[in-house]
Structures are given as structure tokens and as C-alpha cells.
Amino acid sequence: MLCVIAKLDEPATETLAAIRKIAFTDFSPSNPLHGHITLATYIGDSEAGFVEFCMHLFEGLSPFPVEYKRIEVLEGTPDSPPIIVASPERAGSLEEVHRRIAAAYGSSLNQWTQMDSWYPHTTLLYRPGVDLHPICCRMAASFVPFSTHIRKIEFSRVLESGYEIIGQVELSA
């Protein structure tokens, strides 16, 4: 599985990490906050072709704005428990980049990043077996909508023990 992720800059990641700390009144964080938005998760047979397509797509792409508007719980499915996320607007270059990848590789993307099911977000908390709604309400109470810019896109391979960054593109102004 190969993910294409839009990396948040350090100030945006720190802003979301501060919101996330509100959850840790009841328990400790189990992992650091990875400030990113998954654009696509490729599960097809030609990773090299997929990366080449994406690299071509990102050529000349300027850094682009992202507007975070809310903190919410994504309810999940029987296979994936609920999570608390910061949700940016699905608009502008963020949406356009996803649309172009999904149009070219739709059936080779996982169910969460295909055209009609993609919901951009940054995961703040994953805690199976915990009622996330009261925690989300505490986070949302101190959340102030903000803007940031995506300046880097990474390719990361999902491993059993985590992930491995296999490439990145710095977006040029």
C-alpha cells in the first residue's frame, strides 16, 4: 500500500497537536501527531507507474492553501473504529489534486480515497473502545478555524511496523 500525503507545515502541525493534547486528560498519547492529509492510497500492481503519474501531476504545482474548519468524529465501520479528525474544506487545489489522481487510478485506490468516498482530514485521535464524542467536544470547544499551506507532498509505504517515506516533492512557488 502506497500513500500520497499532503504534508502540513510545522505551525499547522503544532496547532493541531495543541488541540489534540486536550484529549490526554484521561490517557497518554500513544504516538506523535503526523500532520498530513492523505490524498490517495494506492493498492494496485504498478507502484512505479503510479508514482511517475503523480510526479508528473505535481510538476509546477505551487504551494496551495488549506482551510481547517472543524473538529469532528468520523464514525468508522466494523473494520475501522471511530477517529477524531481535523477536517479541512474539500476545495481548491487540494480537491483538484485528489480528483485527478482518483480519475486516473480510481479502482486501484483503497475504498477511502476513491472519488466519491474521499473525505480529507488529519487524524488527531484513534482510540478503540473509547467514547470519542466527549473528547471531541472538548477539542472542538478550543478549536479556532485556521489556514495553512501545503508545501510538500510525500509518498509513504505502509508497513506492518508503521510507514516508510519513499519520496517527496517540494512544491515550488
pLDDT above 90 coverage of the chain, percent: 70
What pLDDT is recorded for position 16? 93
Q: Which residues of 84-107 are buried (b: 16+ CB within 10 A; e: fewer)?
A: bbbbbbeeebbeebbeebbeebee
Distance from C-alpha of 36 to C-alpha of 120, rounded to nearest angstrom: 10
Whole-prediction pTM value?
0.90
- Give the confidence band of 27 by pLDDT, cuts at 50, 70, 90: low
Are the beta carbons of 66 and 88 closer than 8 angstroms? yes
Please state the rounded mean pLDDT for residues 34-44: 94
Neighbours of 64 (CB within 10 A): 15
- What's the mean pLDDT in 114-128? 90
